Structures are given as structure tokens and as C-alpha cells.
Copies of this chain bind each other. A is one copy, B any other.
Amino acid sequence: MTTTRSPRRDATENRDALLAAARIELNLDAEASLETIAARAGLSRRSVYGHFATRDELLRELVTIGATRIAGAMAGVDHPRPTVRLALIASRLWREVADIKVMAVFAVRGPLKAHTAAALQPLRDRVAAAIAAGVATGELRSDIPADRLTRLVENAALSALAEASRERMDDREAHRLVMLLVLGTVGLGAADSAAIIDGHPELEWTAR
């Protein structure tokens, strides 16, 4: 017979539990072992292999899910001024990533970076577009090639995340920091950045 039943309910629950556990555990230690992750999910290491062929497969799925969430959060981000758009992207990003900081940094910089890059492509495209537009209008610096600037902006955001996890920063403050660093990187002075952030209510932090 070829007809396979649909998976048992507890099985899918456990699968989700594993992903959730991985999310938490990898955020504490980016290199957490399967043992650790399974334990947090209330399962044995052995049974992880009932859901994921390899450790790598688990991680990739986790990254994919995260990237999709982020991409989703960017929907509807739009504003005529490229600088504001960038700040808005930074703002939304922070919201999605605040409780995943460590893992996020690892996903982008660690061995999964290739996969992460692919999954985050849409986000990067958005940033690149905003930058290109800003350079065209003269709002943004033109002394650094746009594609390079895109990567540097990304790094700036990561830097803010790293700082936020290093010290346990206030959400509101961290949210502002991400925007400030991004704007600083694309060429705005501190005062201009502050003016933009404070002049646009949609860039304000609102508790979740």
C-alpha cells in the first residue's frame, strides 16, 4: 500500500516543540547541541531524528521560518523619503528580531549564512532599493557604492543587535539605536537622524 496516514497529532506538536526549543536554546548559545535542544523540548536526542534528517535541516528550517516572518513584517513598509523608509525597515526589523538577537547574528554570520542570505534576499532587496533611491535624490551618501552600502547597513543593524544583547538594553532604546546606526551608516549626521526619527510618529516605539 502506498497511502500513508497523516502524521499523528503529538508528532507534529513535538516537531513544533523542537523548533521552538531550538529557537530558545540557540539564542542562549548559538552552538547548542541537539541534546540540549531536545531536552528543552522534552524529548530525547534520538527522536529528533524522527523529525529532522540532520541537525542542519532543523536549523535551516528555523532560519527559513524566521526569514519568512521578517519578510512578512516588511509588507506595507513604504514612504516617499528613502531615509524614512530605511528607518522604518530598521524599526520593523527590530520588532521581529528583538527576542532572537543572538541567533539572528549567528544566522547571518555563522555557517548558515549562505542559506540565511538566500532567505533574506527580499529584505535585502528592499534595503538596496531604498538606498538606491536615496542616493539618487541626494539624501544619502554617494561616496560608497550602493551595494557595499547595503552590506554595511546590514552590519550596522547587527552591531546594534549585538550591543543590545551585550548589555540588556531597554526595548525603546535599542529600537532607536538600530535606526540611528542605520541612518548614520547611510550618511546622516546624528542631528539629522534624530530629526527624522522624532519627526515621524510611525518610527516611535510602541510596546508590544
Question: Which single residue of chain B is at the shortest CB-CB distance from A183?
Answer: B184
A104 to chain B, nearest CB (A): 15
A180: chain B residues at CB < 8 Å are 143-144
Q: Are B177 and A151 in contact (CB under 8 A)?
A: no
**How many A residues, CB 8 Å from partner?**
27
A189: interface (CB < 8 Å): yes
Contact with B along A133-150 (1 / 0, CB 8 A): 000000011011000100
Q: Are A162 and B155 in contact (CB under 8 A)?
A: yes
A148: chain B residues at CB < 8 Å are 163, 167
Interface, chain A (partner B; CB < 8 A): 140-141, 143-144, 148, 151-152, 155-156, 159-160, 162-163, 166-167, 177, 180-181, 184-185, 187-192, 194
Q: How many copies does the complex hold?
A: 2
Q: Are A143 and B181 in contact (CB under 8 A)?
A: no
The 8 Å CB contact of A159, one of B152, B187, B188, is B152
The 8 Å CB contact of A187, one of B151, B166, B190, is B190
A194: chain B residues at CB < 8 Å are 143
A189 to chain B, nearest CB (A): 3
Known A152-B181, A184-B185, A187-B190; further 13 A-B contacts with Cβ < 8 A: A140-B190, A143-B180, A143-B190, A144-B177, A148-B163, A151-B166, A155-B159, A181-B185, A184-B184, A187-B189, A187-B191, A188-B190, A189-B192
